[in-house]
Chains A and B, each alone.
Chain A
Amino acid sequence: MYPWNHRTVMVTALLALAGIVGCAQQETSERSQGPDPLEMTPEAYAEYLVFESGSFRLDQPVQEGGDARQRMEQDEIQRLCSETRNRPPADVAGRIVRRARESIRYPEDGIQLGDWRKGAELARSGYGYRVGHRNDDPDRTAGGNCYACHQMDPDELGYGNLGPSLTNYGELRGQGESVRRFVYEMIYNPHAYFPCTNMPRFGVNDFLSQESISHIMAYLLDPESPVNPGIEPGEGERRGL
């Protein structure tokens, strides 16, 4: 994360300025503490609300070390997607894709498939990294919560539809080097393919470990995994694969 992106600097400068004005008016103004929000743009006021107003528990320790302030500071991709409301114009989208590609780090011993049974648990688990009124235990493995948004094992009925169905993902595509690479990159930083996607960057954000990613990949691609029960003849063609 970049704690001193241009926005933070701008807001700080604005607040400093407003502070000076505020001092001069202290005698008459009821709002003697802090700047006058009405001098701010909605964007600047929103940043003030996040970082200066005491609205969030910024000093609370977080599982990855440090405090919750880091969670609120936006990196470039978060900022660009917020500003363009997830519909980046072509030049911004290109920049996001480039940044995302640069961010991807690969396992030293190549992209391997782990244990699909462990992947099945991780795909169901929504545990990990929550802070605030209740804190997730950092010693418990964080889940990928894939089922919140994707269909996978067709026998699991409790699946969401914010993302596409992944049933028979490996059956339809195989487990070759290029497929493994694509799936790894999609989990690590999906903005490399879909700029401003809703999907979290599980790798860049250190949400899932390399080991967890390998298990989830096995769950998706392993022919033995219930995600790949097989398809009717011709279904691949119908789905354009």
Chain B
Amino acid sequence: MLRRLLWYSILLSGLACVPAVASDSPYLTKRQQLMMLAESNPAELTLWKGEELFHEKRGPKNASLEACDFGLGPGVLEGAYVQMPRYFEDASRVMDLESRIIYCMKTLQGFTEEDEPIARKHSSADHTADLVALYTYIASQSDGMKWDPPMEHPMEKLTRDAGEVLFYRRAGKMDFGCVSCHSEQRKRIRLSYLPSVHQPEEWAKAISWPAYRIGHGVVRSSQHRVRGCYWQMRQAGLNFGSEASIAILSFWTDRARGHVATLPDLKR
């Protein structure tokens, strides 16, 4: 009897070590295999490349990005990403992390839109984009923290609220909106469980970009995700870093508020 009790307590303590997961969320639990793999996320290679690039003196101005202000002061990376998108006075607009990195690559390093480090927005099988690497490194400095996008500036609020309108906005040749796939739990497209915007725990995991996408073999960003959604919805192509893209990111981040970010994540 005592021995059995001991076994139970060991078992229970083991369970307690497993990251807290809503057991009724198939989006989270059906990904046990991914969670086990997550101990060795290939995104770490991208992260290391990003760390080097961040500190390296580059561009026409031969400067590093160490002086870049991601919202918490120049060079402060810890917790910066979970507090984005954010309104930046110097740029007079709301920016997501990717837009902010580009802004600093231009202002601090002197790169232009046409230069390879900015022009290449996404990675391919044989080339990791600098931008994705930097994004992965900076985002990783918020791993395990809670999403907490600021809503003090009126533009931050308006951007989030417009993002919510866009989320529910149905259009295009298939009448879809983001809402079509992300408003109910336990729903799948083919075999893929879809995260619901109404379930903050799974939503917080779902919006955890950058993530190494197993099906793509590279690290992808939130901009890449939202572009793919509009493509599948048969709406017009969404431009990288556009105001509309940031509005959607602002709404989706707000919906994960108070729940833990996994950075970088591992996805299907």
B244 within 8 A of A: yes
Q: Is A53 an interface residue (CB 8 A)?
A: yes
Are B162 and A56 neighbours in the complex by a CB distance under 8 Å?
no
Stretch at the interface among A14-22, A81-89, A165-173: A81-89
Q: Is A201 an interface residue (CB 8 A)?
A: yes
Taking the closest CB of chain B, its distance from the CB of A33, in whole angstroms, is 12
- How many B residues touch A, CB cutoff 8 Å? 46
* A99 within 8 Å of B (CB atoms): no
Q: Does A69 contact B (CB under 8 A)?
A: yes
Which chain B residues in 25-49 approach chain A with CB under 8 Å? Answer: none
Contacts of A133 in B (CB 8 A): 227, 231, 237
Do B190 and A159 touch across chains, with their CB atoms under 8 A apart? yes
Residue from A57, A82, A206 in contact with B239 in the complex, judged by beta carbons closer than 8 Å: A57
> Do residues B171 and A55 form an inter-chain contact, with CB atoms below 8 A?
no
CB-defined contacts of B245 to chain A, threshold 8 Å: 55
A162 to B180, CA, bound (A): 9
- Does chain B have a CB within 8 A of A43? yes
Q: A162 — nearest CB in chain B belongs to which residue?
A: B187
* Docked CA distance A57–B235 (Å): 10
B236 lies within 8 A of chain A by Cβ: yes
- Is A183's beta carbon under 8 Å from chain B? no
B247 and A46: CB pair below 8 A? Answer: yes
One of B5-13, B14-22, B95-103, B153-161 at the interface: B153-161
A209 at the interface (CB under 8 A from B): no
Partner of B237, one of A57, A147, A162, A205: A57
Complex CA distance for A71 and B172, rounded to whole angstroms: 4
Q: Are B181 and A162 in contact (CB under 8 A)?
A: yes
Question: Of residues 212 to 233 in B, which have CB atoms within 8 Å of A's CB atoms?
Answer: 227, 230-232
Interface size on A, residues (CB 8 A): 52
* Residue from B168, B177, B234 in contact with A71 in the complex, judged by beta carbons closer than 8 Å: B234
Which of chain A's residues has its CB closest to B164's CB?
A: A42
Q: Please report the C-alpha to C-alpha distance between residue A198 and residue B245 in the assembled complex, in whole angstroms.
A: 23
* Chain B residues closer than 8 Å to A68, beta-carbon distance: 235-237
B178 CB to closest chain A CB (Å) equals 11
Contact A130 B175 (CB under 8 A): no
Contact B247 A72 (CB under 8 A): no
Q: Contact mask A190-209 → B, CB, 8 Å, 1/0?
A: 00000000101100011100
Interface string of A110-151 (1 = CB under 8 A from B): 000000000000000000011111100000000000011100
Choose among B171, B179, B234, B242 the residue that contacts A86 (Cβ–Cβ < 8 A): B179
Q: Is the CB of B188 within 8 A of A46?
A: no
B120 close to chain A: CB less than 8 A: no
On whether the beta carbons of B170 and A78 are closer than 8 Å, the reply is yes
Task: Determine the distance from Cα of A74 to Cα of B171 in the docked complex, in whole angstroms.
Answer: 6
Least Cβ distance of B191 to chain A in Å?
Answer: 5
In whole angstroms, what is the CA distance A77 to B171 when docked? 10
The minimal Cβ–Cβ distance linking B223 to chain A, given in whole angstroms, is 11
With a CB–CB cut-off of 8 A, which chain B residues contact A38?
Answer: 154-155, 158
Q: Known contacts A40-B158, A45-B158: does B171 contact A56 (CB below 8 Å)?
A: no
In the assembled complex, B176 has its CB within 8 A of some CB on chain A: yes
Q: Does A25 contact B (CB under 8 A)?
A: no
**Given known A42-B158, A131-B231, contact A205–B164 (CB-CB < 8 A):** no
Nearest-Cβ distance from residue A144 to partner chain B, whole angstroms: 10
Instruction: Tell whether A37 is near chain B: CB-to-CB under 8 Å.
Output: yes
Complex interface: chain A residues within 8 A of B188 (CB): 160-162
Cβ-defined contact, B247 with A56, below 8 A: no
- Minimum CB–CB distance from A73 to chain B (whole Å) comes to 7
**What is the distance, in angstroms, from B99's C-beta to the closest C-beta of chain A?**
12
When the two chains form the complex, which single residue of B171, B190, B237 contacts A132, counting CB atoms closer than 8 Å? B237
Flag whether A104 is at the interface (Cβ < 8 A).
Answer: no
Interfacial residues, chain A to chain B (CB-CB below 8 A)? 30-31, 37-38, 40, 42-43, 45-46, 49-50, 53-58, 60, 64, 68-69, 71-74, 77-78, 81-82, 85-86, 129-134, 147-149, 157-162, 198, 200-201, 205-207
Give me 10 A-to-B residue pairs in the complex whose CB atoms sit less than 8 angstroms apart, sorted by A's number.
A30-B92, A45-B165, A49-B166, A56-B238, A74-B171, A131-B234, A161-B187, A162-B180, A198-B176, A200-B174
A45-B162, A56-B237 given; name 12 further pairs at CB < 8 Å: A45-B158, A64-B173, A71-B234, A72-B171, A72-B172, A73-B171, A82-B168, A85-B179, A129-B174, A131-B237, A132-B237, A158-B190
